[in-house]
Amino acid sequence: MAQQLNSEEGMALINPQKAARECRRSMTSASFNFINSIIGSGIIGLPYALNQAGLPFGLLLLIVVAFITDYSIVLLIRGGNLSGSNSYQSLVQNTFGFPGFVILSALQFLYPFIAMISYNITTGDTLTKVFQRIPGVGPDHILAERHFVILLATFFFTLPLSLYRNIEKLGKVSFLSMALTLTILITVIIRAATLGPHIGPTENAWAFAKWNAIQAVSVMSFAFICHHNSFLIYGSLKQPTLANWSLVTHISVGSALIISAAFAVAGYSTFTGYTQGDIFENYCRNDNLATFGRFCFGFSIITTFPLECFVTREVVSNAFSRNDLSKAEHAAITILIIALCTSISLAYDCLGVVLELNGALSAIPLIFIIPSACFIKLSPGRWFQGENLIPAILILIGMFVMITGLIMTGLYPQDCSHGVEMFYCADANISGTLPPG
């Protein structure tokens, strides 16, 4: 490592322009990976979050969650620098000992693992509808079978991409995923203008706030969390300084907020009170533009999957104190993780409640509570004084949202209606706005 640093420093002295270009390139790649990590399957649930919270108040909550995400990501790396840690797990272990390490490892494994399951289920549900638009592919065709589509995507896309050892190599893939996400956003906005007026708003559709806004925070936290791979992306920078990291974080979270807010507003304003947890379940099957959006989203999810696999593999290797896996160990752990994830996603076709619970159980502690607690423990000064004030407030907010969110999710679980055609699709007025099936 010392020789590598010396060679890089020597290159910077010999050719500073080349070193600067490589630094910018690594920051660009890190930003694409970060944005891609944030804008995963959770984005399709954001219109539903506005349905829970109310449009104006929901947008306000989305902005607050984004600001907290940005702040806590930087706080996380600051804590790592204070403790000399190079991973989320080692930071918590150095701060709170072995019990903290075990809790963090469980949370850090649980969140991306369940996210990968949701990616597989979303891929199966989304691409089967795309394939059924191909002439000759009916409901009984093998391409309309979600199990086959999930296995197909796993063997030909997610597994090969997940076998990469360097996360920086996914930068180009992440850029492609971002381009697809922007395409999806455009299709949702177009349908908000062309389809929304024919459906009409439901009662209290434009209310400022709704009583179950806490559940919306869980969904938003699930959509925005990226802390579990922050150290991986931070380590991919050619010059991993706090200034460079802060810039990457601000650009990534800011870009994700703009895309997420536009997607949430366009999706909710189209269907208002009818908005489902998966916004693509709201669109009619004979809608060719929505079918194109489904294809783009399905492919985008496939390219996001490897980022989560990187994290779960790192958690497993750190649990066994193996920071430098051999090629055989790397491949074996990757295949085992993907095999387990694929098996569960083949057995279950609706994880709406599980994802909401994942937001409350995993995302809230990883965003609000743990980074703040580590920083307070490592920094001088008392709680609620100086720079410890904001982290202390975040801990209290996180505890409240987590407990309340779990209670409300249990009392008012999210509905799941995969594959059910919405009632308004039979309306002649709506059928006239869509291309013929």
What would the pLDDT profile of 331-341 be if each residue is shown by its tens digit? 999 999 999 99
Question: How far is it, in rounded angstroms, from Cα 147 to Cα 168?
Answer: 31
Query: pLDDT tens, 87-142?
Result: 888 899 999 998 998 898 888 888 888 888 888 888 888 898 899 888 888 888 89
| Dihedral angle, C-alpha 171, 175, 178, 184, nearest 10 ° | -130
352 in Cβ contact with 378 (< 8 Å): no
SS3 109: helix
Question: How far is it, in rounded angstroms, from Cα 28 to Cα 393?
Answer: 33
Residue-wise burial string across 384-422, b where 16 or more C-beta atoms lie within 10 A, e elsewhere? eeeebebbbebbebbeebbebbbebbeeeebeeeeeeeb
Tally the C-alpha atoms within 13 A of residue 32's C-alpha that lie toward its C-beta: 21
What's the mean per-residue pLDDT of the chain?
84
Is the pLDDT at 263 greater than 90? The verdict is: yes
Judged by average pLDDT, the poorest of 31-45, 149-163, 165-179, 403-417 is 165-179
**Local structure of residue 241 (DSSP, 8 states):** -
Query: pLDDT tens, 14-23?
Result: 556 666 667 7
369 in Cβ contact with 399 (< 8 Å): yes
Nearest C-alpha neighbor of 115 from the set 362, 317, 410, 366 = 362
- Structure tokens given for 147: 């199990």
Q: Which of 238-242, 347-351, 399-403 has the highest mean pLDDT?
A: 399-403
Residue-wise burial string across 248-272, b where 16 or more C-beta atoms lie within 10 A, e elsewhere? bbebbbebbbebbbbbbbbbbbbbb
**What integer pLDDT is reported at residue 250 of this predicted model?**
93
162 in Cβ contact with 310 (< 8 Å): yes
**What integer pLDDT is reported at residue 4 of this predicted model?**
43
Pick the residue with more confidence: 240 or 261? 261
Pick the residue with more confidence: 189 or 232? 189
Q: Going from the N-terminus, what domains does the chain have, and what CATH number goes with each?
A: 33-433 (1.20.1740.10)
| pTM assigned to the model | 0.82
**What integer pLDDT is reported at residue 40 of this predicted model?**
67
Would you give the end-to-end CA distance of the chain in angstroms? Answer: 60
Nearest C-alpha neighbor of 272 from the set 418, 55, 46 = 55
Confidence bin at 6 (pLDDT 50/70/90): very low
